[in-house]
Amino acid sequence: MTSAAHSPSRNPGQDTIIVLVGLMGAGKSCVGRRMAQRLDIPFIDADLEVEAAAGCSIVDIFEQYGEEAFRDGERRVIARLLDGPPSIIATGGGAFIDEQTRALIGEKALSVWLRADLDTLVSRTSGRSHRPLLNSSDPREILSALIDQRYPVYAEADVVVDTGSDNANVTCGRVIDALADHIPAVKTSPTSDAS
């Protein structure tokens, strides 16, 4: 007999907080919004929550208070979101790099790294000015350095999905497939399926 966890009608996100991680331009917000529609659970953009809590934009937070203050706010906001009901949370690219935040995500959510190559990240972030880290010098150089620094850490996510130049719908489908495979294994009590 098929267990509830393996039933094809079971919706993989409805009892879980799913956290999307990855570099700027990986498509976390776009893909997250589509996933939330498909899984019928709320979508939360952590960057927007940080801005709402601060009452100003991320660019202004960096300019007026510095990156450290932004990171403090981001850590607090994500901790609050992880105490909330099931949702899809798109995090800012630095969130999962923070050790405390990464540990909390590991405890309370299922993490998905949207892995993208440098060209994809450069093209998806070009012509936008709302990311302070990319405004100071050549974005390709900055993104390349961030790939070196951060990819080994994003690799700690529960699920890794390559995005490449695929559109958000394709990536969304791929993430949901990967989660449907993954969630029964991590969320089902090992004794419940014992035969």
Applying CB under 6 A, the site for ligand S3P has a residue count of 10
Among 53, 132, 147, 182, binds ligand S3P (CB under 6 A): 132
Residue by residue, what is the 3-state secondary structure of the chain? CCCHHHCCCCCCCCCCCEEEECCCCCCHHHHHHHHHHHHCCCEEEHHHHHHHHHCCCHHHHHHHHCHHHHHHHHHHHHHHHHCCCCCEEECCCCHHHCHHHHHHHHHHCEEEEEECCHHHHHHHHCCCCCCHHHCCCCHHHHHHHHHHHHHHHHCCCCEEEECCCCCHHHHHHHHHHHHHHHHHHHHCCCCCCCC
Phi-psi region of 91 (alpha: psi -120 to 50; beta: other; left: phi over 0): beta
Which part of the chain contacts ligand S3P (CB under 6 A), choosing from 10-18, 35-43, 87-95, 177-185?
Answer: 87-95
Closest to ligand S3P by CB, 26 vs 183, is 26
- Tell which one of 131, 142, 158, 175 touches ligand S3P (CB under 6 A): 131
Q: Which tokens belong to 121?
A: 């990240």
Nearer to ligand S3P, 26 or 39 (CB): 26
> Interface with ligand S3P includes 94 (CB under 6 A)?
yes
What is the x/- site pattern for ligand S3P, positions 172-191, by CB under 6 A? --------------------
Site string for ligand S3P, 31-70 (x = CB under 6 A): ----------------x----------x------------
- The yes or no reply on residue 24 touching ligand S3P (CB under 6 A) is yes
In the complex, the smallest distance separating the C-beta of residue 162 from ligand S3P, rounded to whole angstroms, is 17
x/- contact string, 133-162, with ligand S3P (CB under 6 A)? x-----------------------------
